[in-house]
Structure 1
Amino acid sequence: MSIEWAMADTLTSILKKLLNQPTAPFHEYHVRAQIEQLLLDVPHVELSTDAFGNLLATYRKGKRKSSPVWVLGAHMDHPAWVKSPGKNGDWEFLGGVPKSIVDLPENIALRRENGEIAPWGFPVTIEEGKVGAAACDDLIGCAVIIATIKELARLGLDATVHAAFTRAEEVGFLGAWHLGKHWPFGKEAAFLSVETSRPVNGAEMGDGPSFVWATAFRCLTMT
């Protein structure tokens, strides 16, 4: 089995586990717990959280360091309804979706309550190389990073690679802002955002997670 096929098989398994986790800005605990579970027993991986609740991971084996030292980043939240303590527990929508769209009856009917959050109720589908889910942005990015770290460990490569799974991106990049202000990775580190969004600035449909994943992995292993 080639590296690409082995990685694809791992990615599919991770996607199934991660995309079924409900999430919302400031309510990323289900996703964070699943990421921690997926990385818990991976050799040479250290996990921690910063003061804002961003989940940080480091794969470190041997003394070899790439130049620069890479920090792979993706956010754990997605626009969703949350119960607002200041509004008698009423539902409030957080994220960059216009209110005129959120308030449409057919869209409100898609709300799936899960404790204090209510994400969109789209089913998770993975077939014929296409992924469909409510929170592709950016749980697919999180899955790509997890799969990359697992592959580094499977191959036993000497490398130091960091990852940052950030919070509250959908309401102003708050987790990323905190990470940048309290940067823990050193001046030599370079941040690589693993993003899953609509095509802009020359990005094309079809050059998606598999393309980004393979490119990021080769970058990490060849520098």
Structure 2
Amino acid sequence: MNRDAFLELAGQIMTLPTAPYHEQFVGDAVAEFAARRPHLIMSSDDFGNLLLLYDGDKEETASGGRRGRRRPRLVVTAHMDHPGMAFAKRLSGPDFLFERLGGVPEDLSRDGKVDIFRLDRPSHQKPIRGRIMACVSPAAGGSEFRIRVGRDDSDEVGPGSFAMLALRPLEARKRRLRARACDDLAGVTTGLCFLDELLSRHSPIRAGLLLTRAEEAGLGGMLAAARSGSLDRRALYVNIECSSCRAGAQLGAGPVVRVGDRISLFDPQITGGLVAVAEELTKAAAGADRPFRYQRKLMDGGTCEATVLTRAGYGVGAVALPLKNYHNAGRNGLRPEIIDLDDAVWLVELLVGVALHPAGVTGASKAAAKKMDRAIGARQREQARRLRRQRSGRPTHS
């Protein structure tokens, strides 16, 4: 995986309009991606979540080339939405109420420009430009934005319309990728690149990609999927997020192996396996022109979909791309979100490394733990001998 390959797919996914409950354009692009790759099987549940499965070990298993129990499938997850706004009702003339969906920054949005899209038009439609005039808090809770459009456009806005902040969809500058919706379309892109890498290598393993809806509006898609009983209980899950640098991660220092979030600590075996594979990749790239980097952090600024799976009893770990201008909140106003391209490429390499590890993610964790136990045991024996010789700091006389 290299930057150009990631950027090519990012151009197909990260330029698409999306918002909670309005992920249709992203879903259509994912369906086209799967249709061009006959070794992928895509399905949709009753809630519109998408599952792409890759069964690269079918031929070997069918021919008897593999014996014994198959290892659990590795499924990475991401969400297809980004904070936005959805049509609620027309007020008068060119003024409309739009429901605030997710963490659109209210304090920075007054007088902010928005782009309004319609689901009954092509994904790369010319949006209707509007302006946020006020934020309204209904008695029932939540919040809405009063948005004004040009009078010539007022009849074009109605049910099915949704809005995003009027920011450039995607721009690459050297190592930085700026976009109106890195969170979590960069995660979707990473997951698709992960599958593409497995396909290109004809990898004899089983993997999957679960893409959920309405994460920004309360983790809705993942809650529905986890409680529906449709997910594989034996699978191991790794959630991909874009997480704010304010939690301590640095752009360009590598993807984050996320130990937990504000609510949960994730499966220690899966987390340990992610770290073990990341360490192996770091050592293998030592002295090379292009190193491998990663970070290990708690990232407790918010709650991610891995907590939903954890609470539902699934085995889950998490990774994250460090994100600047989280939810488009810049230091001095609304700004595109920013990730580092190398972080994204390294994350794809990490996920592929985990999928292809001979012992699997939990096996890698156990091997690393055994190595640590041996090192600790050797140190304990050496320390015990010295402690006996010098009890209480005084030499022992025979």
| TM-score of the pair, normalised by structure 2 | 0.50
Please list, as runs of the form range in 1=range in 2, the aligned pairs for 1:79-94 lying within 5 A after superposition.
79-84=83-88, 90-94=97-101
- Do the aligned residues in 1 keep the contact of 2:91 with 2:97 (CA within 8 Å)? yes
Q: Which runs of 5+ in 1 are unaligned?
A: none
For 2:216, the aligned partner's letter is: E
- Do the aligned residues in 1 keep the contact of 2:115 with 2:165 (CA within 8 Å)? yes
Given candidates 230, 241, 252, the residue that maps to 1:184 is 230
Given candidates 44, 52, 55, the residue that maps to 2:50 is 55
Rounded Cα–Cα distance in structure 2 between residues aligned with 1:79 and 1:220:
31
- Do the aligned residues in 1 keep the contact of 2:89 with 2:98 (CA within 8 Å)? no
Greater displacement, 50-59 / 89-98: 89-98
Q: After superposition, what is the alpha-carbon deviation per residue over 1:183-216, rounded to whole angstroms, capped at 9, x for unaligned?
A: 4342221210111121255533222322322111
The answer to whether residue 235 in structure 2 is matched with residue 156 in structure 1 is no
Q: CA deviation at 1:70?
A: 1.1
Greater relative CO (CA pairs within 8 A, separation 6+): 1
For 2:218, the aligned partner's letter is: G
- Do the aligned residues in 2 keep the contact of 1:112 with 1:121 (CA within 8 Å)? yes
Residue 219 of structure 1 is matched in structure 2 by: 354
Rounded Cα–Cα distance in structure 2 between residues aligned with 1:51 and 1:87:
33
Q: CA deviation at 1:9?
A: 2.8
Residue 82 of structure 2 is matched in structure 1 by: 78
Rounded Cα–Cα distance in structure 2 between residues aligned with 1:28 and 1:163:
16
Rounded Cα–Cα distance in structure 1 between residues aligned with 2:211 and 2:13:
13
Greater displacement, 148-157 / 201-210: 201-210
- Do the aligned residues in 2 keep the contact of 1:138 with 1:196 (CA within 8 Å)? yes
Rounded Cα–Cα distance in structure 1 between residues aligned with 2:162 and 2:207:
33
For these two proteins, the number of residue pairs brought into alignment is: 214
Rounded Cα–Cα distance in structure 1 between residues aligned with 2:12 and 2:19:
17
| TM-score of the pair, normalised by structure 1 | 0.87
- Do the aligned residues in 1 keep the contact of 2:225 with 2:231 (CA within 8 Å)? no
For 1:38, the aligned partner's letter is: F
Q: CA deviation at 1:44?
A: 1.4
Q: After superposition, what is the alpha-carbon deviation per residue over 1:46-82, rounded to whole angstroms, capped at 9, x for unaligned?
A: 0010011001110112237874421110000001121
Off by >4 Å, runs of 4+ in structure 1: 85-89
Secondary structure, aligned partner of 2:42: strand
The answer to whether residue 17 in structure 2 is matched with residue 18 in structure 1 is no
Q: CA deviation at 1:97?
A: 3.0
Q: CA deviation at 1:100?
A: 2.9
Secondary structure, aligned partner of 2:115: coil
Given candidates 93, 96, 102, the residue that maps to 1:95 is 102
For 2:355, the aligned partner's letter is: L
Give the number of the structure whose residues are more often strand, by fraction.
2
Rounded Cα–Cα distance in structure 2 between residues aligned with 1:216 and 1:137:
18
- Do the aligned residues in 2 keep the contact of 1:194 with 1:212 (CA within 8 Å)? no
Rounded Cα–Cα distance in structure 2 between residues aligned with 1:43 and 1:195:
27
- Do the aligned residues in 2 keep the contact of 1:43 with 1:153 (CA within 8 Å)? no
Greater displacement, 35-44 / 80-89: 80-89
The answer to whether residue 76 in structure 2 is matched with residue 69 in structure 1 is no
- Do the aligned residues in 2 keep the contact of 1:71 with 1:163 (CA within 8 Å)? yes
Please list, as runs of the form range in 1=range in 2, the aligned pairs for 1:83-162 lying within 5 A after superposition.
83-84=87-88, 90-102=97-109, 104-105=110-111, 107=112, 109=113, 111-115=114-118, 116-123=161-168, 124-162=170-208
Q: After superposition, what is the alpha-carbon deviation per residue over 1:143-182, rounded to whole angstroms, capped at 9, x for unaligned?
A: 0111111111111111111111100000100001111112
The answer to whether residue 216 in structure 2 is matched with residue 170 in structure 1 is yes
Q: Which runs of 5+ in 2 are unaligned?
A: 119-160, 255-342, 361-398
- Relative distance call for 1:85 and 1:197 in structure 2 (3 A) is same
For 1:151, the aligned partner's letter is: E
Rounded Cα–Cα distance in structure 2 between residues aligned with 1:126 and 1:74:
22
Q: Give the structure with higher Rg (CA).
A: 2
Secondary structure, aligned partner of 1:194: strand
Greater displacement, 14-23 / 119-128: 119-128
Rounded Cα–Cα distance in structure 1 between residues aligned with 2:230 and 2:197:
24
- Relative distance call for 1:50 and 1:200 in structure 2 (3 A) is farther
RMSD (CA atoms): 2.1
